[in-house]
Amino acid sequence: MTTYDTETFARRLLGPADQPVGRLRVRIQVMLTVLLVSTNVIGALVVAGLSSIVVPGEGLTPPYARALMWAIPAYVVVAVVVGATLGTVTTVGSLKWALADREPTDEERRVAMRLPWRLTLVQVGLWGFAAILFPVLAAGYQPSAVLSTVFTVLIAGLVVCAIAYLFSEFVLRPIAARALQGEAEPVAAGSGVQRRMIVFWGLGTAAPVSGLVVAALVALLRNDVDVQRLAGVVLGLSAVVLLFGLLVTVLNVRAVVTPIAAVREALARVGEGDLDVEVRVDDGTELGLLQAGFNDMARGLRERDSIRDLFGRHVGHEVATAATEGRIELGGETREVSVLMVDLVGSTTYATTREPAEVVAVLNRFFTVVVEEVDRHGGLVNKFMGDAVLAIFGAPVHRDDHAALALAAARAMADRLAEEVPEIGSGIGVSTGRAVAGNVGHQSRFEYTVIGDAVNSAARLTDLAKSVDGQVLVAQASVDAAGEPETAHWQSQEPVTLRGRQETTAVARRHPS
């Protein structure tokens, strides 16, 4: 089974789907720690950078600037330690079922799907603390910077929390896939795609832009803000909008596009005829429904293909194809067909003097030759009757050259049986004529077959063929209907009276080679 999940780069980071649980835990822990450190460092740098340009008027005073130089690194260290501890406890506590390598309960499955939100709440708490700490610090060293510090920290915190959620969701995709494995529909993770994109638009774009609005209001309310300082504020906040807004948008888009790309790739494989594919369900939004829907579709196609193959093995693949396309008259229709019948000579005596395994091996070789030649010449193996086979040419799929195909199949079959099944003889008869072809039986159980004089004639000719040279005897009508070049392989014989009839039937057999 081919499973499609994420792009190649993501597969390198997340590892294979069947990796051991212990290795998956270490991989996730390392990536989450790196995520926590990097996001907080980036956020701290954003606070430091914006604080130097966003404060209207006089800018940062030297005492406040020195305080920030000590406070920001200290905060980052504390945030990393506290965040890593809480993140580890939250992750390990929520994934006991995965570490125990067992099937999760419904509640454990829901908790696993909401884990990115819970980890993001840890970041929200850390940055909420920062939104209190740094304004208090500003109040002690530079009261005029309190308002701008609050908005600086809040803007940076919102952007960093958004990035942290998207990274957490990416890192925890293997856990989501294990949680959703075998589920017909994914468990809702708390928000849909539309709502999630609106939220992250607000965090990545609306929040920084609101900072611009605040800066403009401050400039209007205060008289000590010069044009150059205001330009610096606008440029600084605009950088946040452009850089971090773009980063949030890119990560959000990738979170949406990656599952769709996996489904698209899998659909391409289905379009090429490969039905043995599935998409790993690792999303709790509408994208997860898309992934699960594709798997349901692929499963249905595999079941349909399996049923069609099984149906084809019983009635012939042409019948199965014609039936699924609605090209078979269920009540029957009159067709001009050619019927080939082949029967073993003395099979009862042979079976009583040989071991059962030997008899079965001979029968399998006999049926292999018959089925392969009938298929090769466009016929339908209609019935296995003990040690005899009835084949039809010209139904259910109409063929103008059905007589030539049946005769060619009889010649090839006779040659191969003489070489590949020399232990026992056979008789082959071919007849052409009108017959009723269609489904017979009950509404709950049909059988596709042909009924008519051509079938009866083929059976009688098969009995006579067992005692003629070459062991093939065909109706002259079949040879006449075949035309050149097939007629060159046959020569007319004395008419014979078939069992159960009063008039004679013109027959032919193969030219001696």
Cα separation of 400 and 1, whole Å? Answer: 42
Reported as half-sphere exposure (CB side, CA atoms, 13 A), residue 397 has a value of 18
Which of 51, 53, 47, 45 shows the shortest CA–CA distance to 64?
51
Cα separation of 355 and 271, whole Å? Answer: 49
Quick check: 421 and 353 in contact, CB under 8 A? no
Which of 329, 492, 342 shows the shortest CA–CA distance to 406?
342
The two three-digit tokens of residue 430, written as one number? 């071919």
Cα separation of 159 and 425, whole Å? Answer: 85
Q: Output the pLDDT for position 189.
A: 47
Phi, psi of 57 (to 5 degrees): 80, -115
Which contiguous run of DSSP H or E holds residue 393? Answer: strand 388-393
Residue that has been written with the tokens 């194809």 in this structure: 321
DSSP string spanning 142-211? Answer: -GGGHHHHHHHHHHHHHHHHHHHHHHHHHHTHHHHHHHHTT-SSPPP-S--HHHHHHHHHIIIIIHHHHH
Query: Is the peptide bond between 259 and the residue preceding it cis, with omega within 30 degrees of 0?
Result: no
Quick check: 164 and 120 in contact, CB under 8 A? yes
The two three-digit tokens of residue 56, written as one number? 């209207």
The two three-digit tokens of residue 294, written as one number? 């594709």
Cα separation of 494 and 497, whole Å? Answer: 10
DSSP string spanning 200-238? Answer: HHIIIIIHHHHHHHHHHHHHHH-SS--HHHHHHHHHHHH
Cα separation of 408 and 148, whole Å? Answer: 93
Q: Output the pLDDT for position 37.
A: 76
User: In the chain, which residues fall in CATH 3.30.70.1230?
Assistant: 330-510
Which contiguous run of DSSP H or E holds residue 340? Answer: strand 333-344
pLDDT per residue of the chain (513 residues) written in tens, 0 to 9: 555 555 544 556 666 656 676 777 777 777 777 777 777 777 777 776 666 655 544 566 788 778 878 887 887 788 777 777 777 677 766 777 776 777 777 777 777 777 888 888 888 888 888 888 888 888 888 887 777 777 778 777 777 777 777 777 777 777 776 776 655 455 444 456 766 677 667 666 676 677 667 667 766 666 655 666 666 667 766 776 677 667 767 767 777 777 788 888 888 888 888 888 877 766 666 777 777 778 778 888 887 777 666 656 655 566 566 656 655 555 567 889 999 999 999 887 888 888 888 888 999 999 999 999 998 998 888 888 888 999 999 988 788 999 999 999 999 999 999 999 998 899 999 999 998 887 777 666 667 788 889 999 999 999 999 989 889 999 999 999 998 899 999 999 999 989 888 889 999 999 876
Quick check: 48 and 72 in contact, CB under 8 A? yes
What is the architecture of the domain spanning 330-510?
2-Layer Sandwich (3.30)
Phi, psi of 419 (to 5 degrees): -90, -40
Distance of alpha carbon 334 from the chain centroid = 44
